[in-house]
Amino acid sequence: MELLGLYHYWVFAVLLMIGFYAVVAKVNLVKKLIGVSLFQSAVFLLYITMSKVTGGTAPILQEGMVDPVFSNPLPQVLILTAIVVGISTTALGLGIVVRIKEEYGTIEEHEIQEIDRR
């Protein structure tokens, strides 16, 4: 277990950077938004990973539990709200992309810049 004790954090780092790669390297705006949502999910994963305690259980009290160990509720609260906020802001981004498509006729970054330069 010692060897894999940091695996969750490595996955977080890799996921974060996969999302970041999509944001910086992809030209298509919808793809960039997908990258942002991967990035978001990676951060969610980091927080929830930190909240876990070995041998713990979800921080919901239950009758008949003998001396329970609970995982940390605080990161869970932060992420719970962040997921809904995340989908709302992603929708806002998609709304902007749809408007760009209607005004410019394309959602590829290069072509938009080209049209702007004219």
Partner 1 sequence: MTVLFGIFLLTLLVITAVAIVHTRNLFVAVMLLGIFSLLIAINFFILDAADVALTEAAVGAGISTVLFLGALALTTERERLGTQHRWLSLVVVTSATLVLLYATFDKPLFGDPDAPVHQHVAPWYLEKTPEYIDIPNVVTAVLASFRGYDTLGEVFVVFTAGIGVMFLLSAHSGGPGRRKREASGIGLREHLIPRVVGRLLVPFILLFGLYVQFHGDFGPGGGFQAGALIAAAFILYALVEGEDRTLAALPQNALNALMVCGALLYGGVGLAGIVLGSSFLDYSVLSADPVAGQHLGIILIEAGVGMTVTGVLLSIFHAFAARDRI
Partner 2 sequence: MYYAVTIALLVTMALALARALMGPTVYDRVLAVNMFGTKTVLLFSVIAFLSGRPDFLDLALAYALINFIGVLAVLEFFRSRAAKRVAEEGENSPRDGAAER
Residue 20 interacts with which of partner 2, partner 1, none, CB < 5 to 8 Å by class = partner 1
42-81 residues near partner 1, rule: CB under 8 A: 44-45, 48-62, 69-81
Helix (H) or strand (E) holding 32: helix 29-51
Residues 26 and 60: their CA atoms lie apart, in Å, by: 42
Q: Which stretch binds partner 2 (CB under 8 A): 33-41, 43-51, 58-66, 110-118?
A: 58-66
**CB 107 within 8 Å of CB 32:** no
Residues 113 and 107: their CA atoms lie apart, in Å, by: 10
Pick the closest to residue 111 from 10, 18, 12, 28 (CA basis). Answer: 28
2-21 residues near partner 1, rule: CB under 8 A: 2, 4-21
User: What is the nearest approach in angstroms of partner 2 to the Cβ of residue 7?
Assistant: 16
Q: Is 113 in the site for partner 2 (CB under 8 A)?
A: no
Q: Is 60 in the site for partner 2 (CB under 8 A)?
A: yes
